[in-house]
Structure 1
Amino acid sequence: MTTSPPATHPNRLPRVRASELVGRGWLNTGGKDVRLADLRGTIVVLDFWTFCCVNCLHVLDELRELEEAHRDELVIIGVHSPKFVHEADPAALAAAVDRYEVHHPVLDDPDLVTWSAYTARAWPTLVVIDPEGYVVAQMAGEGHAHNLEILVSDLAAEHRAKGTLRPAAQGAGPYVPLAPTSGTLRFPAKAIALAGGNFLVADAGHHSLAELLPDGETLVRRIGSGERGLVDGGPDDARFSEPNGLCLVPQELRERLGYDVLVADTVNHALRGVRLADGHVTTVAGNGQQYMVGATDNVLAMPDAGAPEGGAVRQKLSSPWDVAWVEAMGAFVVAMAGNHSLWVFDDEQDSIAVVGGTMNEGLLDGPLAQAWFAQPSGLATGPDGRVWVADSETSALRVVTPVAGSTRGEVGTVVGQGLFDFGHRDGPADQALLQHPLGVAVLPDGSVVVADTYNGALRRYDPVTDSVTTVATGLLEPSGVVVAVEGDRVLLVVVESAAHRLTRVALPATLAGQVLDAGAHRTRRPVTEVGPGELLLDVVFTPAAGQKYDDRYGPSTRLQVSATPPELLLEGAGDGGPLERRLVLNPAIGEGVLHVTAQAASCDADPEIAYPACHLAQQDWGVPVRLVAGGPATLTLPLHG
């Protein structure tokens, strides 16, 4: 592994002037443009993100504390560089900035102009600019909060001493908050039907659950105080943080478990149990901390002295997005979007563990434990016991066929091509395309309806004809579907998230739909030209000041490399080893995508510290490459540099 030689700090890059911030417009600035010259004298962190990306959402959460701790000397600028077509819609971006409570200026960069100027290659990427306007660090992925805190503190001290740090007066920064919005629901995520006809809605934007009358509009009660947090208790005291998935507990288990509904409390990295009789909320899995792939401390005790004891509540989770009861497994299956996997929660055994996916992001079928997922975000169980999965980042509909009485199964893909191919196309399932679906439900005839979120549509997969049709369009980010039958009609109650409402869609008994073809798309990112033959892949990582590589439990770094198409890589594919690898690219393949996953663990280096704090940086890249004669023989990716 190689690193950039530092001048005064182990994470500093050579002094390069920061490029101007260029895009279509700005959000959270009161309509004003922001120039780097306006920010001279402050430390600037650029956060390159896209709102579909769960890793980007993790970084938004990581930045909140940094933003608060250094509000007088630090300005964070979000640079939104979209992956999906829908994310390039300025109205959709404005909704996302509101939805995720982004409290700093955001540059709308739909054409990837600023992305290219800073040679970003992955979502998320962070760039640090010092008070004199020079780029001093660039890092990809999540898990950099500690390193950023050290770097920002060091920069502040250095430039305060030089007289080049000019702290802003309170409220004088470029951030202008949006006007608050009100309504019964705010960015609702999922819903379920309760006995008696009421609906329970995961009201993510209000950090609570809302029970509505059968009209889907009238509020009966709210469970949760509405403040972001992880607090158990009664309906007025409990706190959630962007809850998403909801699942009714089987009737025969409710008395033993003590709750009726299981909630995927996404940003809290937890599962919560809700007792409907009095609205009491209990944390049943997750300790409120994020599971980081490859970390050695993924199981920790609950930090609060009064927290419940047990195995499941000691386990770290990562953005659980949905949950479903699976009879064949005798347990709840959790769509763990944050690390691209499926988990099984058994409250009677007080256990929760990964059962599906290797935690590599991608589209790979086969045995459940060896399959690859990409932000699984919606689950539904059919009458035949199969589990349908809305796999959002691959724009795919996946299906798990469980082995009865076990946690094993087989994974297949019904619709979907991979991480970078999407669109709105009906017809034969192997040619159909979706765009970032978040919800799925099974219809009475065994067919499957998909909340095709970024297409604003409902799509239906018919397993008999193995084909896809469109049953509704014009919806605003549908993210969940509740199925009801009224006589000979099938009624779909759609969680129309960006419209802040539940919407009814009536289908005829035949469930017929339109056949539409709105075209196919591929994610647009600048292509990197490299030479054919040998290519040195160098992932740059330097531990933060006062830290060293953590090799107490084995190798401190991990590098995984593959390619699309696989034939692009003649040598160098595989998992493990240092962050530098010799690849051999096939000159007969003109272009493709290199898939790279890197991890690096570091801990406090002071031998006097009995229990050193450890941190894990990780990132997945999909780097489009074009082979050209005489092209560069080195590809450098900054995990942290």
Structure 2
Amino acid sequence: MTQTIRRTDRVRASELVGRGWLNTGGQEITLEDLRGKIVILDFWTFCCINCLHVLDEMRPLEEQFSDVLVTVGVHSPKFEHEADPDALAAAVERYEIAHPVLDDPNLVTWQAYSARAWPTLVVVDPEGYIAANLAGEGHVAGLSSLVEELVAEHEAKGTLHRGDGPYVPPEPVSRTLRFPGKAVPVTRPLGGDATTVGHFLVADTGHHRIVELESDLQTVVRSWGGGVADDDGVLASPEKGHRDGDAETARFTEPQGLALLPAEVAQQVGYDVVVADTVNHRLRGIDVATGQVTTLAGNGVQRLIDSERVTQAEGPVVGSLGTVPLEVSLSSPWDVLWSPVTGSVIVAMAGTHQIFSFDPVTGELKVLAGTGLEGLTDGPAEDSWFAQTSGLAADAAGDVWIADSETSSLRVLRVSQDPEAPAVETIVGEGLFDFGFRDGDPAEARLQHPLGVTVLPDSSVLVADTYNGAIRRYRGEHRAADGTTVAAAVSTVARGLKEPSDVLLDSDGTTLLVVETNAHELVRVAIPDEFLTVDEGAWETQRPTTEVAPGEFSLSIGFEAPTGQKLDDRWGDPTQLKISSSPEELILEGAGSAEGLRRTLRLNPSVAEGVLHITARAAACDGAPGEEIPMHAACHLYQQDWGIPVTVRPEGDSALELDLRGIK
């Protein structure tokens, strides 16, 4: 084996310090306890879709090298709610994390390892030295090569210890529902059965299945996927995966959104329900009459930006992806919605920060809005930025309201005026690192990682404000009964909920139905005559700031292709940097997109503080250095977004180095 990944220096790994440990049976772990093992520190936070992707990417690697490799999740929270130990424990259970997790609420270990982005992976060798530092997702192939090299090296030196790691699995708990994600009311007979009207279809996400509940919200009528349940609908050992077939044999993996098709469309296409099968990166269809589950779109490979477009310094293009949906890659579809205006299913494609559409009749998939870059930018669909879109609802005009979770924002995609050229508008929210719990003027109101949204008959919009444990209401400017004009405002309808992830209006029109994820149930909440008014403040994610000097400022991103890969330079420079700032005036020169992983900026001395927004990309394909890339070689895109808080001071640094994929 050609060993191109080698350490060039010997940096001792820092100790693991935090509030406590999960998945260790109550035992604390030190690096000394892990000596002799290859350790991968996974710096993550449970709000982050990229972090969730890494959890799934790592599972085969952990299984393959189970006797020599120990993964340690270092949970370093972005949002205030994520610092709650109970919320973290629920997330570890929900995402079926099978390795030790360090609770690092004050970012002590995060700072010790100079982490700057979620996710970050740090490889520590069996002697306790750092071997690699990797930002973002998609590194598993390179990690596999690196682990094999470290195994060979340290087995030869006698410093590798084989055997079990410190992971202690928790006791399983049986429930009717387990971390339900989304729900939709049954508004028409399903399978020719009129008694289904008034029931609810629920994504029983933690059980990897879809269930039909009676109106009592407790009784399971039937289910699709997950395995065999008992007479009460309880699953003792849920099964996940991807398999089409009847209700018992079909398999899902962490499904989320559900959309009930109109009767005439369902009759034409042969299925009633569209499911966002999130972790399988697919859309699925359910024919309720026969129980059959089929795959509608997605090839099961997580969607990344096409490497050819990256080498040409282009982003993803809004428009059609063709009419062969099973050949198209998707990325963590989180919610789905039938849109009469577009005649298609709208898809919140959380993994690529975009809005897609899917036509059940023709099979056409489209990128409807979003460049694929993570952030909050309004305007024409092709220029807009989203951040982990997670909830969808349509108003009477047909415009699509969006819970954009990572920017803690409520946004709207205006499709009613021109479905072919929609525009994006932010109603509540400020940016990736701004959140809070504040009512009042929408420009000043704050949410915290919302996941669900619905539109009421009076055109007001309800938001499942997930990390605030609340249901919030936005009502635009309107006329009161006495003819006076009432300004637009945000208010609070209910609070004290356990991570509500969806909200909808019950069939009686006077009650709300809330999917209370961490309570493992659906609950009814009465709409109060007078809404609460809350102002607990607006906050920003508290991360250490970097002191930078005004004037000329050098930025460089470290990247080295893994063993067995080489940079894909067939169309020119296969790397790209996109740089912007908040406020915009922070960067006087050097912002924008260009090839290469080095850039010289000029920072404004009159701006005291801000955030540098950096997106780095590099494309590599399987092949040996110095040789041509084979025509059908597998290619890989490495991408990471950073938001670096900075303070501008004369004594600050005049350069910043970040690692997209750095080998020590």
* Fold conserved between structures, TM > 0.5: yes
Q: Which whole-Å CA distance do the structure 2 matches of 1:542 and 1:468 have between them? A: 48
Q: 8 Å contact 2:40–2:72 — kept in the other structure? A: yes
**CA displacement at 1:406 relative to structure 2:** 3.2
- In the alignment, which of 127, 136, 141 is matched to residue 146 of structure 1? 141
Deviation sequence 1:552-593 (CA, Å, 0-9, x none) = 244311110000000000111011210010011111111110
After superposing the two structures, state which structure 1 stretch, 627-636 or 135-144, moved more: 627-636
Moved >4 Å (runs of 4+): 607-610
The answer to whether the aligner puts 1:27 opposite 2:40 as a matched pair is no
Residue 502 of structure 1: SS of its match in structure 2? strand
Equivalent residue for 1:415, pick from 402, 405, 428:
428
Please tell me the residue identity of whatever aligns with 2:491: T
Q: CA deviation at 1:325?
A: 1.2
Q: CA deviation at 1:279?
A: 2.0
1:39 counterpart letter in structure 2: L
Q: Give the structure 2 partner of residue 302 of structure 1.
A: none
Q: Which segment drifts farther, 550-559 or 409-418?
A: 550-559
* Secondary structure of 1:16 counterpart: coil
Q: Distance in 1 between matches of 2:34 and 2:74?
A: 15
- C-alpha contact 2:299 2:326 (8 A) present in aligned 1: yes
* 2:394 is aligned with 1:394: no
- Structure 2 residue corresponding to 1:334, chosen from 344, 347, 359: 347
Q: 2:231 corresponds to which residue?
A: none
Where in structure 2 are the equivalents of 1:362-511 lying within 5 Å? 362-404=375-417, 406-463=419-476, 464=478, 465-486=487-508, 489-508=509-528
Distance in 1 of aligned mates of 2:607 and 2:179? 45
**Alignment partners' CA distance in 2, 1:294 and 1:533:** 35
1:603 aligned onto 2:604: no
RMSD over aligned Cα atoms: 1.7
| d(CA) in 1 for partners of 2:139, 2:600 | 27
CA distance in structure 1 between the partners assigned to 2:504 and 2:287 by the alignment: 21
Give distance in 2, aligned partners of 1:369 and 1:251. Answer: 32
* Corresponding residue of 1:249: 261
CA contact (8 A) 2:246 2:293 kept: yes
Contact 2:3 2:149 in 1 (8 A): no
In the TM superposition, residue 227 of structure 1 has moved relative to its aligned partner by: 1.6
Q: Answer yes or no: is the 8 Å Cα contact 2:277–2:333 preserved in 1.
A: yes
- In structure 1, the partner of 2:284 is 272
Residue 151 of structure 1: SS of its match in structure 2? helix
User: Which residue is equivalent to 1:39?
Assistant: 34
- The letter for the 2-side match of 1:287 is N
Letter in 2 for 1:363: L
Which of the numbers 503, 519, 534 marks the counterpart of 1:516? 534
Give 1:184's aligned amino acid: T
Contact 1:328 1:404 in 2 (8 A): no
Identity of aligned residues (%): 57
The 5-angstrom pairing of residues 153-232 of structure 1 reads 153-168=148-163, 172-194=164-186, 195=188, 196-224=197-225, 225=227, 226-232=238-244
2:81 is the alignment partner of 1:86: yes
Residues 5 and 146 of structure 2 are in contact (CA less than 8 Å); yes or no, is this contact kept in structure 1?
no
Tell me how far apart the structure 1 counterparts of residues 623 and 69 of structure 2 sit (CA, whole Å).
27
Distance (Å, rounded) in 2 between the aligned partners of 1:624 and 1:16:
26
1:566 aligns with 2:584: yes
Structure 2 vs 1, CA of residues 200 and 554 (structure 1 numbering), >3 Å: closer, same or farther? farther
- Give the 3-state SS of the residue equivalent to 1:460 in structure 2: strand
Task: Give the AA of the match of 1:614.
Answer: C
- C-alpha contact (below 8 Å) 2:412/2:426 kept by paired residues: yes
Secondary structure of the 1:567 match is helix
Structure 2 regions of 5+ residues with no counterpart? 189-196, 228-237, 311-321, 479-486
Deviation at 1:137, TM superposition (A): 0.5
Correspondent of 2:650 among 626, 629, 638: 629
1:329–1:404 contact (8 Å) kept in structure 2: no
Kindly state the Cα deviation for residue 45 of structure 1 after the two structures are TM-superposed: 0.3
* Residue 432 of structure 1, CA deviation: 0.6
Q: Pick closer, same or farther for the CA change 1:128–1:215 going to 2, 3 Å.
A: same
Aligned residue in 1 for 2:548: 530
Q: 1:630 Cα deviation (Å)?
A: 2.7
Q: Tell me the equivalent position of 2:374.
A: 361
- Cα distance change, pair 13–93 in 1 and its aligned pair in 2 (3 A): farther
Q: CA deviation at 1:529?
A: 1.2
Taking the aligned partners of 1:351 and 1:551, their CA distance within structure 2 comes to: 32
3-state SS of 1:282 partner:
strand
Q: Among residues 618, 635, 642, which one is paired with 1:614 in the alignment?
A: 635
1:334-393 CA distance string (max 9 Å, x none):
000101100111122211121101111111111122111111100000112111000000
Residues 116-166 of structure 1: CA deviation (Å, up to 9, x unaligned)? 000000000000000000001001001111111111111111111111111
**CA offset digits 1:168-205 (Å, max 9, x no partner):** 2xxx3110011111111000000011142111100110
Distance 1:358 1:103 in 2: 34
C-alpha separation in 2, matches of 1:493 and 1:98: 25
- SS of the equivalent of 2:506 reads strand
Tell me, yes or no, if the aligned pair for 1:146 and 1:615 is still in contact at 8 Å.
no
**Counterpart-to-counterpart distance in 1, 2:647 and 2:271:** 55
CA deviations over 1:308-351 (Å, ceiling 9, x no partner): x9611110001000011111111111000101100111122211
Compute the displacement of 1:610 (Å).
5.8
SS in 2 for 1:629: coil
Q: 1:612 Cα deviation (Å)?
A: 2.4
Q: Does the residue aligned with 1:576 lie in a helix, a strand or coil?
A: strand
Q: Which amino acid aligns with 1:222?
A: S
Question: How many pairs does the alignment contain?
Answer: 618
Q: Is the 8 A contact 1:17 1:135 kept in 2?
A: yes
Mapped to 1, the partners of 2:380 and 2:430 lie a distance apart of 19
Aligned-partner Cα distance in 2 for 1:51–1:405: 37
Deviation at 1:629, TM superposition (A): 1.4
| 8 Å CA contact retained: 2:474, 2:489 | yes
Gap runs ≥5 in structure 1 = 1-6, 299-308
**How far does residue 9 in structure 1 lie from its aligned partner after superposition?**
4.1
In the alignment, what sits opposite 2:481? none
C-alpha distance in 2 between matches for 1:48 and 1:502: 32
1:51 aligns with 2:51: no
Contact 2:323 2:365 in 1 (8 A): no
Counterparts of 1:315-326 in structure 2 under 5 Å? 315-326=328-339
Residue pair 1:11, 1:542 contacting (<8 A) in 2 also: no
Number of the residue aligned with 2:360:
347
Distance 2:112 2:647 in 1: 19
How far apart are 1:232 and its partner, in Å? 0.6
Distance in 2 between residues matched to 1:105 and 1:400, nearest whole Å: 41
Moved more, 361-370 or 472-481: 361-370
Letter in 2 for 1:402: V
C-alpha displacement of 1:15: 1.1
Aligned partner letter, 2:171: A
Give secondary structure in 1 for the equivalent of 2:510.
strand
**Cα separation, 2, equivalents of 1:339 and 1:258:** 29
Any conservation in 2 of the 1:10–1:543 contact (CA below 8 Å)?
no
Shift of 1:404: 5.0
Distance 1:27 1:295 in 2: 38
Counterpart contact for 1:533–1:587, Cα < 8 Å: yes
- Report the Cα distance in structure 2 between the residues aligned to 1:186 and 1:494, rounded to whole angstroms: 15
Q: TM-score, normalised by structure 2?
A: 0.91
Whether the aligned pair in 1 keeps the contact of 2:399 and 2:414 (CA below 8 Å) is yes
Distance verdict in 2 for CA 1:356–1:471, change over 3 Å: same
Are residue 288 (structure 1) and residue 289 (structure 2) matched?
no
CA distance in 2, matches of 1:65, 1:258: 36
